[in-house]
Amino acid sequence: MISSLPDFPWDSLLPAKERARAFTGATPDEGEGIVDLSVGTPVDPTPQVVTDALSAAADAPGYPQTWGTPDLREAVADWFARRRSAPGVDPDGVLPTIGSKELVAWLPTLLGLGPGDVVGFPRVAYPTYDVGARLAGATPTPADATTAFGPAAPRLLWLNTPSNPTGQVLGVEHLRKVVDWARERGVVVASDECYAELDWRTVEERAADGDGPDAVSTPSLLDPRVCGGDHTGLLVAYSLSKQSNLAGYRAAFLAGDPRLVAGLLEVRKHAGMIVPWPVQRAMLAALGDGGHVAEQKARYRARRGVLEPAVAAAGLRVDHSRAGLYLWASADEPSRVTVDRLAERGILVAPGDFYGTAGAQHVRIALTATDERIAAAAARLGR
């Protein structure tokens, strides 16, 4: 199994990291040392409403439910109705996961896929879709259009909207076409929507994209305009890591087709893939409190407002990047060259080739650094 997995790519960034660490600014604004924008790990505090819920549930002698408690599953269904324009999610079709990365890595296996089965995912993508296909012994197949599959339809098709790393948002119309195509062929569609609450488009842009007047986040696969209110064959993965600064809790969930979820639940019960009780309670608190999500979004919006113009002024073109936690930028040169040039200025970014060969002329610049570090990055980019 190990030999089927790709090399862990982050080690290749170590020389650039060393160079960035050694940076000494010419002005106080530029500051000292590395500004690490290579990973998307949240840096702001976990909200108190969540830490309080975690502490209050610290006494947990018994095993928690793999399925999650009914109130947690109902809270997820309510969240889809309130925040995702997707009423009608059946709490029976909700399943907490131990972060969404494990779900992405194991979904093909949990669905029973194996050798000969195709798993599709975007050409420029979070690497774990590929890893998940390999863990199952299935065939990973990057593709940006359903036509790319030809007659051999995948058994599972991953979408990622908003995308990591590109920040591309898929509109209602696009999603509907994918669902229609998948239904004709019995393809399971899984949409990873973990950046949905971090959508930077203006009201006008959303209207032009056909989002609908009440939309407050990125369109969901479970939106009735996408799937006609029928969730058969559809799954959405969502994570609280980004919206609630909970990456350390491993708090996420899956929602959609109750029949598919029942099968996944069965295997996960046998395998002990259980979200700890205090984390389940913390998730319930996080889902019930929109205030901290709005606060965190405002922080990222401000950082984006500082970084994006600085990146553009430094001669990089920012593509897509309409939502999510990254700027997807290109200087129309190999991404490693851009990585090295930015490392000279003490800024570490991720090369686009981490996300597929189609990303080889881009870099991914994360917004997940403190205000001070983002301001230092902007000053250094202005040199």
Query: What are 15's two structure tokens?
Result: 């020389």
Complex with ligand PLP: residue 96 or 346, whichever CB lies closer: 96
CB neighbours of 226 closer than 8 A, spacing ≥ 6?
Answer: 172, 175, 176, 179, 219, 220
Among 37, 86, 104, 196, binds ligand PLP (CB under 6 A): 104
Residues 38-57 that bind ligand PLP (CB under 6 A): 40
Question: What whole-number distance in Å separates Cα of residue 172 and Cα of residue 323?
Answer: 15
Longest dimension (CA), the chain: 61
Complex with ligand PLP: residue 85 or 368, whichever CB lies closer: 368
70-100 per-residue burial string, b: 16 or more CB within 10 A, e: under 16: eebbbbbbebbeebbbbeebebebbbbbbbb
Complex with ligand PLP: residue 238 or 277, whichever CB lies closer: 238
Phi, psi (degrees; rounded to nearest 5) at 263: -65, -45
Burial of 319 (0-12, 13-18, 19+ CB in 10 A): middle
The nearest distance, CB 315 to ligand PLP, in angstroms, is 27
Among 101, 206, 281, 304, binds ligand PLP (CB under 6 A): 101
Query: What are 177's two structure tokens?
Result: 């076409």
Stretch that binds ligand PLP, among 42-50, 97-105, 217-225, 265-273 (CB under 6 A): 97-105
In angstroms, the Cα distances linking 294 to 47, 200, 236, 280 are: 12, 12, 22, 22
Complex with ligand PLP: residue 93 or 99, whichever CB lies closer: 99
The nearest distance, CB 72 to ligand PLP, in angstroms, is 16
Among 23, 79, 80, 126, binds ligand PLP (CB under 6 A): 126
Among 46, 164, 280, 321, binds ligand PLP (CB under 6 A): 164
Complex with ligand PLP: residue 231 or 242, whichever CB lies closer: 242
Q: How many CB atoms lie within 10 A of CB 69?
A: 15
Residue position matching structure tokens 């993508």: 125
The nearest distance, CB 126 to ligand PLP, in angstroms, is 4
**Total residues at interface with ligand PLP (CB under 6 A):** 14
Q: What is the 3-state secondary structure (H, E, C) of 349-379?
A: CEEHHHHCHHHCCCEEEECCCCHHHHHHHHH
Q: Does an H or E element contain 380, and which? A: helix 371-381
Complex with ligand PLP: residue 193 or 211, whichever CB lies closer: 193
The one-letter amino acid at 156:
L
Q: Is 247 in the site for ligand PLP (CB under 6 A)?
A: yes
The nearest distance, CB 129 to ligand PLP, in angstroms, is 9
The nearest distance, CB 124 to ligand PLP, in angstroms, is 12
Complex with ligand PLP: residue 219 or 346, whichever CB lies closer: 219
Complex with ligand PLP: residue 221 or 247, whichever CB lies closer: 247
The nearest distance, CB 137 to ligand PLP, in angstroms, is 22
The nearest distance, CB 162 to ligand PLP, in angstroms, is 9
Complex with ligand PLP: residue 67 or 121, whichever CB lies closer: 121
Among 66, 85, 239, 245, binds ligand PLP (CB under 6 A): 239
Complex with ligand PLP: residue 21 or 299, whichever CB lies closer: 299
Phi, psi (degrees; rounded to nearest 5) at 57: -105, 20
Q: Are strands 363-366 and 326-330 parallel, antiparallel or unpaired?
A: antiparallel
Among 31, 64, 91, 99, binds ligand PLP (CB under 6 A): 99
DSSP letters spanning 242-261? HHTT-TTT--EEEEE-HHHH
Among 50, 189, 252, 316, binds ligand PLP (CB under 6 A): 252
Question: What whole-number distance in Å separates Cα of residue 290 and Cα of residue 312?
Answer: 32
Q: Is 194 in the site for ligand PLP (CB under 6 A)?
A: yes
Q: Is 192 in the site for ligand PLP (CB under 6 A)?
A: yes
- Sign (positive or negative) of CA dihedral 38, 40, 268, 219: negative
> Which residues contact ligand PLP (rule: CB under 6 A)?
40, 99-101, 104, 126, 160, 164, 192, 194, 239, 241, 247, 252
